[in-house]
Amino acid sequence: MYLKEHIVRIENIKTMQTLDQANIDHKVIALFMSSEGIQMRDYEVSAILNSYDAMGYKKVSPKKTQALIQAKQLSEEDETLPCPV
């Protein structure tokens, strides 16, 4: 299983990728994302795009995948944790 396939809010990353592929400056992409309610800076756009591209290169073992899924489920069931954005 690839983590890249299971990122929450993948549509935001796809939007950034599409804008980047259209050669739109990362400052403009950050401004667009901020107008959508996701506060970002240009260097964060660059970092996210680079990190996302790098995630597709290595496969995660099923044992690690299960641990990540269990950790996510535990955090979802814990009412003492603040609600994620």
The reported pTM is 0.56
> How does residue 22 score in pLDDT terms, banded at 50, 70 and 90?
very high
DSSP-derived letter for residue 3 is G
Q: Is the pLDDT of residue 82 over 90?
A: no
**Cβ distance 1 to 11 under 8 Å?**
no
> With the CA atoms of 81, 82, 84 and 85 taken in that order, what torsion angle do they form, in degrees rounded to the nearest 10?
180
Cβ neighbours of residue 65 under 8 Å, at least 6 residues apart?
Answer: 1
